[in-house]
Amino acid sequence: MGISMAICELDSVNSLCKKDKETIIKARPGSIQSLEACADYDETVTAEDAKKVFAADWEGFLKRNRLDGERESFLLDKIKKEEDAAKLRPMAKKAYSGWVVLAKMSPSQAQEAIGSAGPDNLLTKWDTIDLEETNAICGRCGMSWDKGRGCIGSFGPDNSQLPDIARKHGLLIVARVPELAKSREKLSATDAAKLVEECRVLKEKLVEEGKGPARRYGGVVERMELMADLCAKNGMRFYFL
């Protein structure tokens, strides 16, 4: 396992993803009871019911809709031929996913659903954007400090000697990186300014440590300084994980 370093990108109004990441569109509360009108669901039809409709043309139905005849049920929206779907729709049943759509709820209902769901059961607008587009957004974002690749970059392996080298020279933040990665403690913009100074000192000390450490850790220190400088200038927190 390796250690990564990351910024709290939502601390900055300049992060291009901020609005989408803070726009919650769905929540998965503990129960959807009384919220069915706002709930996500799939329409399903059992294979048994479908066979009753297409008894004389079962193989044809499966073939033209590219369906597996061994399945016990089918999702209605996976039926490719609309005329076939129309015949099955009257016997379709709702299979609730457990998610509720906040746009269909009153503000108070939405807040209650978000609170019940907890942070790990929320879907933001950013989550619905495909990977190619998110990569393009990150590439344009000034907060994407790792050469346009995003807000997270590699610090190195768990057994990196860089923290030990930093400790030897009294560079306390870098020395604590393994501990900070375990706790995921958020460090302040003030800490970021201190880390910038530590990185500048560390670059000099790595040369004194010899060619091996300088080559091995020089790039890491450069990236860490870039990240810390960005956080210090934009009032952002950062962390290791």
Question: pLDDT tens digits, residue range 109-121?
Answer: 999 999 989 889 9
- 72 half-sphere exposure, CB direction, 13 A CA radius: 0
Domain boundary among 124, 155, 174: 124
Total domains in the fold of the chain? 2
Domain end point (choices 61, 92, 124): 124
Query: Looking at the structure, do residues 111 and 168 belong to the same domain, yes or no?
Result: no
Assess whether 194 and 134 both reside in one domain: yes
142 and 215 assigned to the same domain: yes
75-83: which pairs have CB atoms within 8 A and are 24 or more residues apart? 75/42, 75/43, 75/44, 76/42, 76/43, 76/44, 76/45, 77/42, 77/43
In 3D space, the residue among 44, 30, 51, 8 whose CA is nearest the CA of residue 235 turns out to be 8
| Same domain flag for 137 and 223 | yes
* Separation between Cα atoms, residue 201 and residue 208, nearest integer Å: 11
Could you say which of 107, 124, 141 is where a domain stops?
124
Using the predicted structure, report yes or no on whether residue 1 has a pLDDT greater than 80. no
**Same domain? 171 vs 209:** yes
pLDDT in tens, 52-110: 888 888 888 888 889 888 888 889 888 899 998 898 899 899 988 899 999 999 999 99
The answer on 143 and 109 residing in a single domain is no
The pTM of this model reads 0.77
Domain span holding position 57: 24-124
Query: What is residue 179's predicted lDDT score, i.e. its pLDDT?
Result: 95
Residue 209 has pLDDT above 90, yes or no: no
Strand-pairing partners, residue 238, are 7, 187
- Counting residues of the chain whose pLDDT is more than 70, the rounded percentage is 100
Q: What is the DSSP string of the chain?
A: -EEEEEE-GGG-TT-TTHHHHH-EEEE--S--TT-GGGEEEEEEEEHHHHHHHSGGGHHHHHHHHT--TT-SEEEGGG---HHHHHHHGGG-EEEEEEEEEGGGS-HHHHHHHHHHH-GGGEEETGGGS-HHHHHHHHHH-TT-TTTTS-SEEEEEETT-SHHHHHHHTT-HHHHTHHHHHHHTPPBPHHHHHHHHHHHHHHHHHHHHH-HHHHHHHHHHHHHHHHHHHHHHHHT--EEE-
Q: What residues contact residue 52 under an 8 Å CB cut-off, 6+ apart? A: none
Tokens of residue 171, six digits: 């560079």
Domain co-membership, 133 together with 236: yes
Residues 82 and 182 in one domain: no
Same domain? For 106 and 202 the reply is no
Query: Based on the domain organization, do 134 and 236 belong to the same domain?
Result: yes
Do residues 43 and 84 both lie within one domain?
A: yes
